[in-house]
Amino acid sequence: MTDAFSEEEKKILEPYFTNLERPVFAFTSRVPEEVVAVLFSKYSRSQHSIRKNFLDLVKDPESGFKGILDAVSAGGSNDAFAAALVKARDFFRRILVEYGDDSVGELGIAHVACEDVSQIAAKRIESARLMSPLEKSTRYVVFEKGKYYKPAAITNSKFSGEYVAMCDELFETYSSEVEPTKAFVREKWPISEFDFNGRKVSEITDEAETKRAKSAYESSVRARALDILRYYLPAATVTNIGITANGRAFEYLISKLMSDELEEVRTIGQLMHQELSKVIPSLVKRAAPSNYLVETKKGMYSFASAKLANVKIKKQPTVTLINYDKDAEIKVVAAALYQFSHHPLSQLRKIAKKMAAEERMKVIDEYMGKRTSRRERPMRAAETAYYQFDVLSDYGAYRDLQRHRIMTQIPQLLTVEHGYDTPPEIVEAGFGEQFHRCMKKAASVYRKIAAEMPNEAQYVVPLAYHFRYLMQFNLREAYHLIELRSTPQGHPSYRHVVQEMFRQIKAVHPALVHYMKFANLDEFDALGRLKSELKKEEKLAAFEKK
């Protein structure tokens, strides 16, 4: 039964809710996130609806909420508004304490921008699972010379001159090769080779169509050139990140950032806490440095250093399947049946184990076989099987793969000791010699700094250098990760990683990846992005014509 409101109540509610008549509605942007959190928290201990509880807040003189609404209606920020806000937040804090901070903290959302942060800091920020970050792309943006982070620990040391000179040289080389690399891409993959609306671009006579095709082509040429040249960029390169998360996620993230080994990351945590305290103070009030994290990491670095100091590092392929669920097929089949039966899982596992391989395949076919796009992921029975990979890719590839957070990721420190990748186009375009010179010089500077400051030394390492990280995920996430990151328009380095993951999973569980039919195992298509851009332009043209 939907609530009935008087005309007076409707006037109060209408600016803050998208409707007053239906059982499904949304808050408008006028409602502060802390108020949303309080109102949602009342669901657990109130017989009333949110809109009724909203009215109760307005009528309660202790809440200070009516003062906020009156001040907003009167024109916004003034002394009355500030006083009402202080009173309201004290009131909200009492409610949040009463209802339990942890769960209520998930009900308030905030948006934070972190600008001019290094690649190292960006990865620390984005390592949090329960948040949605979006970062400046190395594919679409030419990074400006001189825009890199200068850690105080290095600039106040004897390494300052070498560090700055090395970063400047990497950026200078990167910038100087942008236009020549674009020219190289145009020559190697000329526009005349591509189709637009079923015809070769060179055959199109319509001026608007020609303009669209050329625009898509130039966009893809630029993206391909920047994909090649990003290997030069040092980890100190600054970027911008937008983050959307709930209060609970932010509270944990801030504590983790404040407990980091790097001063830059600790400072970001402190600044984030200051700014979020202005918009959702009740939801991030407990964020603080964690002595547990600080002391544990310090102790483990010391222990690992002493224990492994004389142990030679074994060479390993780019992607290695370290561990996997030996009973994965049985577990997935049993879990698939579980949802659609009334039997206990232990009984279904025994039944699945006794099935012939062909019969299990029928269940898997029924469960996964009807997928028509990569966005139709297998249902949750696929989460009962897991895979653990040790990956050694270039740091640039890690930047992209790390964004998949529904998994366990454990990175090591960035170093130069595992070598680096050389894009073949760099050599083909005639820049091989200076590329290798830059990489070797950066390694030399890194080693000097790392002898005294291993954490800060990471900043000078170019994205071309290999970086080791562990990735553990379930079968359902494998479908998402592999099918998305193997698309032809993807960067070749991370395409190689996920294609190898597919091959190695298929070697142990062919039945479970049989329906991963949107995984693309084709050789690298240098202008796969162009084909994607041309298709987009075709759709836009058709839409506008319609």
Among residues 81, 107, 133, the one where a domain terminates is 107
Number of domains forming the structure of the chain: 2
Question: Is residue 332 a part of any domain in this protein?
Answer: yes
Query: d(Cα 99, Cα 223) in Å, to the nearest integer?
Result: 50
Angle at 279 between CA 273 and CA 285, to 5 degrees: 45
Residue 530 lies in a domain: no
We report the CATH number of the domain holding residue 376 as 3.30.1360.170
Low-confidence residues of the chain, pLDDT below 50?
none
- Each residue's pLDDT tens digit, 160-180: 999 999 999 999 999 999 999
Give the dihedral sign, CA 259/246/130/329.
Answer: positive
Strand partners, 118: 238
Q: What number of H helices and E strands is found in the chain?
A: 24, 9
- Classify the C-alpha dihedral 484-485-491-495 as positive or negative: negative
Distances (CA, A) of 459 to 221, 262, 417, 500: 29, 11, 15, 29
Q: Of all helices (H) and strands (E), which one includes residue 514?
A: none
Give whole-number Cα distances, 510 to 328, 374, 503, 507, 529, in Å: 11, 18, 9, 6, 30
CA 47, distance to chain mean position in Å, is 39
- Model pLDDT, residue 42: 74
Contact 420/438 with Cβ under 8 angstroms? no
**Which residue in this structure is represented by tokens 């994965």?**
328
Average pLDDT for the chain: 88
For CA atoms 530, 535, 536, 542, give the dihedral sign. positive
User: Hey, how many other C-beta atoms are within 10 angstroms of the C-beta on 147?
Assistant: 13
pLDDT tens column, 498-518:
999 999 999 999 999 999 999
Residue 77 covered by a domain: yes
> Quick one: tokens of 255?
């504590």
The SS3 of residue 409 is strand
Please name which of 208, 505, 299, 302 lies closest in space to residue 385, comparing C-alpha atoms.
505
Residue 345 lies in a domain: yes
Other C-beta atoms closer than 10 Å to the C-beta of 512 total 25
Residue in the block written with tokens 């760099």: 426
DSSP reduced 3-state for 75 = coil
Range of the domain at 90: 7-107
Residue 360 within any structural domain of the chain: yes
Q: Is residue 139 part of a domain?
A: no
Domain boundary among 107, 135, 154: 107
DSSP class of 42? G
pLDDT value of residue 403: 86
Q: Looking at residue 299, what is its pLDDT? A: 96
What is the predicted pLDDT for the residue at 72?
A: 59
- What's the pLDDT tens digit per position in 355-388? 999 999 999 999 999 999 999 999 999 999 999 9
Q: Is residue 116 part of a domain?
A: no
Has residue 302 been placed in a domain?
no
Please name the residues in contact with 493: beta carbons below 8 A apart, sequence gap of 6 or more.
393, 394, 396, 397, 421
Q: Report d(CA 123, CA 529) in Å as an integer.
A: 25
User: What is the structure's pLDDT at 74?
Assistant: 61
Choose the final residue of a domain: 58, 74, 107: 107
- The pLDDT of residue 533 is 66
Maximum Cα interatomic distance, the chain, rounded to a whole number of Å: 79
First to last CA, the chain: 43
Query: From CA 105, how far away is CA 283, in angstroms rounded?
Result: 5
pLDDT confidence of residue 540: 66
Q: What is the pLDDT of residue 455?
A: 96
CA–CA separation, 217 and 237 (whole Å)? 28
What is the rounded distance in angstroms from the CA atom of residue 480 to the CA atom of residue 519?
9
- pLDDT value at residue 520: 92
For tokens 């989460």, the residue is 383
What pLDDT sits at residue 529? 62
> Tokens standing for 235?
């980890």
